[in-house]
Structure 1
C-alpha cells in the first residue's frame, strides 16, 4: 500500500463522555437517546460553535472536539459542565446526564477530517479518570491557560495513564463541582468493596511501587471470594490523587464498603494503616495500624484480608481465608523484587529492554526464594509478551520464548495450583499450540479462582473467541464492562473483537470507533474486517494501513518480507483458528480492505 505523508499540527483536544451511560440505556434506551440528542443540540453544539471548536468524532456517549487554543477548550469545558448541570436541574437524580471531561494540548496526526495520536489519547485518558461533573487538564494545557482564565486549578500531581510512556501532570478545575451519580449495586445480595490505592508515606516517590503492590495484592486476594463483590483495580485506581468523600466513592463505584490506608517503608520496618468504612454512612467498621518488621508483611496481608471478609460476610472463617492465600515468599526481599519488576512493566515505555529488566527482577526473586510461584508466573508473562510483540518473523526466537514462558508457567502452577496468572498463561500456550479444549479448561480455571477480576474475565472471554464460542465471549465481556466502572478503554476493544467474531459487525464498528486507536493494537485484524464488512471501506483501508505498519514495526525476520508473508505469520501464530469458518471470515474481511490475505 502506498504510504501517504502524515500531516501533523498542534491542537487543544476536549474529550467528554457520559457517566453511567450503560445504566441509563438499560433503564430507558429510547428516552436516553432522545435526551442525549437534545443535549447535543441545545448545549454541546452551541457551546462548541461559540468557542470556535470542531467536533471531529462522536460515539454513543462520547465526543472529541478540536480547538485552536487551550483557552477556548477550557472555556468550553467549563461552560459545558455548567450547561449540563442546568439542564439536569429539573430531572430526577437517577436520570441526570453527567459528563467527565479531559483537556490536552498536544501534537495530533491529521487524516482527512479525523485526528489521531497521543494528543488525542491523553485527553481521553484524563477524561476517564476525571470525577463525574469534573474537568481535568494536562500540564501542557494548564501552562497555556493558568494566567488567562478566571478559574481555580488544583494540581493533582503526575498521573500514570495506560499506554502513555511518561506520567502526565494533571490539574483539576474547581469551578465545576463534582456530582453524585446514582447507580445500582454491582451484585445483589453480596457486600461489595472498593480498595483505594494506599498512600505512599515514605517521602520517596520511587517507593510508590511498594504501596501500589500492597494495594493490588489485597484486591487480588479479596477477589477470590465469591461471597464478596470486589470493585476492579482499574476503577478504584481512578481516584488516585483525588480528594473525594467516601460516600462519593461508594456511589460512583457502587460499593457498600471502602478500604483505604497508607504505607510507610523505613529500611527493614513497615507501617501500614488501614481502615474499612461503610460507604453509605461514613462509619468506620474497622481500623488498625501495623508497625512491624518487613518479614511480617505477608502476615499483615492475611490479617487485613481475614478481618475484611469476616466483617463483611460472616460466612468465611479466617482460617479458610489464610489457607486460600497464595504461598508467600520466604523473604520480603523477594517480594520487593517482584513489586519492582511489576512497577517497571506498568510505568515504563513498552519495549523489549523493559521486559528484560523486569525479568531480571523476577529472577532475582526466585534466586532468593526458589519456591516463589508468583515470581515464576511473572517471568512466564514477560516471555509470553516478548514472543507476541518482539520476535515476529523469527520462528527460532518465537519458539524459544514460547518454551521459556510455558516452562515458567508450569513451574508456577506446580508450586501453587491457585496462581491464576500462571494458569492463564499455561492455558493460552495450549490454545496457541492447537489444544483448544485443554487451553479453554485452564483459562476457565484461572477465571474461577478470581471471579471478580475483570482482566482475568476478559482473558477468558478472548479465549472463548479462539475456541469458537464468540457469543459466550460477548456475554461475558459485556458483563465485565457493565460491572467495572470506570473501565479501561481496551476492555471495549476486546468486546468489539468478540462482536466481530459473533458476526455483529455494526456493534463491533460502533465500539472500535469509540476506542482510542492505541487500544486497538491487539485487535487490529478484527477492526480492519469489521469496517470492511460494514461497508466503510475508507476506514477499513485506514485500519489496514495501520495493521501493516504495526506488523512491519515488530518484524525481525527477512527485511524484504512483504505484507502477505507477515499476514501468514499472524494466521499461523496469533489469529483464532479453532473453526475454519472464522479463519475464512478474517481472510475475506482483510481482502475486502485490500490486504493480500
Structure 2
C-alpha cells in the first residue's frame, strides 16, 4: 500500500448508529527538511569499520547535536550514515548546513584524505505527512534527491528554498538548473550553496542566471545537429577511415610515435573492447608526456586489422617510432607483448612481454609506458611518471565497465548510446570519483541533446525510460558537475562547448586551455580551443589551433578543416575558406553543417548558383525546422555583432530570408546583453 492509499484508508469513518468513530486525523504541514549523508560511507566502513563508527559518533556528539540545538532544528531519524532533520525556519536550516560544512572542513584538515568523513546536504521546503516523530511525503523525497545532487562537502537546495531565503543570508548561490530525479515526475529547480562566496546573489558568471537569457532563442531552433558537436565528435567518433590518406613529414622536433592497435590474441573475441581499451590507454598515457609527440587514437585505429609495413606507416604519419603489440586475456590473466620499432628502418629497438592478473593491469601499463620513455631517452616530470592521474581510477572493475561503455559511445548512434549508458553508469557506481567515466556520460547526453537523440530512443529503445530534450541537457550538466570534481581533458572540452552555448566566452576559452594543458597531444582539445577562439573573435589564433589538430590526427582532418574554414571565412579570406570547407566536406560528407558557411563563402565569391545549392542542402539538414535567419544563426554564438551580421547578410543574398528578420534577431541579442 503506497502512502496515498494509506492516507485514504486512515481517514475513513464508520457509523455506529449513535455517532461516528474516526481514526486519528493525518497531520500535514509545510516545513523545511534537511537530508545529509556521508560520501563513500561503504568504502570507509570496509577499510576501518570501528574507526569510522567512532568518528561518526564523535562528530554527531561534538558538532551535529550542539549545532542542531543552536539552530532550533530536530533530528527526525538517523539511518546509518544518513540524517533527516526538520527546521521551522529555512534561514536556520541553511545557516546550520553552512556551519556544519565549514566546521567539518576544519575538523578534516589533519585527517588523511581517504579517512575523512565528508557530508553532502540537501535542503527543501515541502508539504509533509507527520506520523508521530517521523515525516513522509514528496517534501522528504525531494530533500533526499537534493542531497544526492550535492557535491561532497557541499549543499544543494531547491528553488523554493532559494526564493524564501534570497536576501536573508550572507551566502552565495549558483543556479544549477532544473534536474530530473528518481520518482519525482517534474524537474526540480536546484541551486548550489557557494560556501566560498560571501554574497547572497545567484552567481551570474558561471550559473544559469546568465545562461537563461538565451533560452527563447535556443528553444526556437532546438539546436539540432549543431556546429560544435558536429565539429568535435562526428569526425572523431567515426569508425570508417576517410577515402583519402594524408602523408606528412615529421611534424615536431620532439620524439614522435604512433601506437598501432594491439592484436587480440584472446580465445574470446568478445575481449576486443578490452584490447582496444588497452591500446587507447597506452596512447593516452604517452600523450600526457609533454616532451613526446603522439599520433591520436582515431588515426592509429585506421590501421586496425590491416597488414602494415612499419616504415610506410611512419612515413604516412610523419613519426620516428611505431609501437605495436598484442594482448591475451584469459579469465583474470593478462599477457601483453609490445615492440618499439624504428620508423625509418623497421628495426626493433626494444621488445618485452608482461604477465599478470587483471588486478595488475594498471601496473603493467605503467611498466610498458616507462620502458618506452626510457628507450626514447625522454625526460619526464614527477607528475608524468604514473598513469594514475586526476580523473583516472584505481578500480579495474570500474575501468572495465568504462571500456565496455566507451566502445559503444564511440560509434555515435542513438542505438549505441543506449548500450553505452548502463556500462558507464556502472563504472561511476563502482568508483564515484572516476572523472573520465563521468565526463563520458556528460559527453553522451550533451551529444544526445544537440543531435536530437533524446527525442528517439535514448536510454531505452522501447521508450519506457527516455529523457526529454531538456532532460538530456540536464543530465549532461549534472554528469559534468561530477566530472569536474576530478576533471579530464574531455570534461574541460564539454564545459567549453556548453559555455559557448550560453555565450560565456572567457569561460569557454579558459576550459579549452585547461583541456590542452592536461594533454597537448589530444586533437579534440585543440579543436575545442579553435571553436572557442572563433566565436570569441580570435579567428587568426583558431587557424593555428586547427594546424595542431591536423598534425595529431592526420587521417581524420575533416573536423579541424571545418573549423579552419570558418575561421578563414570570418577573416574574409573567402577563396581559402571555400577550398578548406570543400576539403572538410570531402573527408566527412556526413557533416552537412559545413554547407552553411560554404554557402556564405560562395556568396562572397559571386558563385551564386553554388551558394544556393549549398544553402538548399543545409535546409535539408535542418529537417523540419523553419529555415529562418534565427534558426540558422542561433547555432553560431559569435561574440561580436559584426561577425553575425557578416554571415547573416550573406545568407540573405543567397536567398534565405529578409533583412527585417536579421535586424529583429540582432535586437533580441542586444536586449539579452549577449552581443558586443
Pairwise CA RMSD of aligned residues?
3.1
Q: Name the residue aligned to 1:246.
A: 310
Q: Name which of 300, 310, 319 aligns with 2:374.
A: 310
Q: Name the residue aligned to 2:571.
A: 502
Larger Rg: 2
CA distance in 2, matches of 1:459, 1:366: 25
1:84-125: per-residue Cα shift (whole Å, max 9, x none)?
xxxxxxxxxxxxxxxxxxxxxxxxxxxxxxxxxxxxxxxxxx
Task: Tell whether 2:614 aligns with 1:543.
Answer: yes
Task: Tell whether 2:536 aligns with 1:474.
Answer: no
Q: Name the residue aligned to 1:454.
A: 523
Q: Name the residue aligned to 1:374.
A: 436
The answer to whether the Cα contact below 8 Å between 1:436 and 1:467 also exists between their aligned partners in 2 is yes
Q: Name which of 459, 464, 482 aligns with 2:533.
A: 464
Q: Name which of 419, 427, 431 aligns with 1:365.
A: 427
Q: Name the residue aligned to 1:32.
A: none
1:463 positional shift: 1.5
CA distance in 1, matches of 2:578, 2:285: 36
1:443-498: per-residue Cα shift (whole Å, max 9, x none)?
11101211122222122112211111111111221343255433343332232222
CA distance in 1, matches of 2:240, 2:545: 32
| Deviation larger for 368-377 or 207-216 | 207-216
1:594 positional shift: 1.4
The answer to whether the Cα contact below 8 Å between 1:466 and 1:577 also exists between their aligned partners in 2 is yes
CA distance in 2, matches of 1:166, 1:411: 29
CA distance in 2, matches of 1:259, 1:165: 23
Q: Name the residue aligned to 1:30.
A: none
Closer, same or farther in 2 for the Cα pair 1:534/1:563, shift >3 Å? same
Q: Name the residue aligned to 1:411.
A: 482
CA distance in 1, matches of 2:530, 2:381: 32
Q: TM-score, normalised by structure 1?
A: 0.63
1:166 positional shift: 8.7
CA distance in 2, matches of 1:354, 1:325: 28
Q: TM-score, normalised by structure 2?
A: 0.56
CA distance in 2, matches of 1:491, 1:319: 30
Q: Name the residue aligned to 1:424.
A: 493
1:310 positional shift: 2.9
Closer, same or farther in 2 for the Cα pair 1:293/1:471, shift >3 Å? same
* Counterpart secondary structure, 2:385: helix
1:319 positional shift: 7.1
The answer to whether the Cα contact below 8 Å between 2:414 and 2:453 also exists between their aligned partners in 1 is no
Residues 10-49 of structure 1 mapped to structure 2, 5 A cutoff: none
* Counterpart secondary structure, 1:290: strand
CA distance in 2, matches of 1:393, 1:292: 45
Any unmatched runs of 5+ in structure 2? 1-233, 457-466, 663-676
CA distance in 2, matches of 1:430, 1:443: 10
* Counterpart secondary structure, 1:518: coil
Any unmatched runs of 5+ in structure 1? 1-160, 171-177, 556-561
The answer to whether the Cα contact below 8 Å between 1:461 and 1:472 also exists between their aligned partners in 2 is yes
Residues 219-230 of structure 1 mapped to structure 2, 5 A cutoff: 219-230=283-294
Q: Name the residue aligned to 2:654.
A: 593
Task: Tell whether 2:603 aligns with 1:532.
Answer: yes
1:539-572: per-residue Cα shift (whole Å, max 9, x none)?
222221222222126x6xxxxxx322xx524533
Aligned length: 411
1:362-416: per-residue Cα shift (whole Å, max 9, x none)?
111111221211110000001111111107999x9444333322221221121x2
Q: Name which of 278, 290, 306 aligns with 2:342.
A: 278
Q: Name the residue aligned to 1:485.
A: 554
* Counterpart secondary structure, 1:503: coil
The answer to whether the Cα contact below 8 Å between 2:496 and 2:528 also exists between their aligned partners in 1 is no
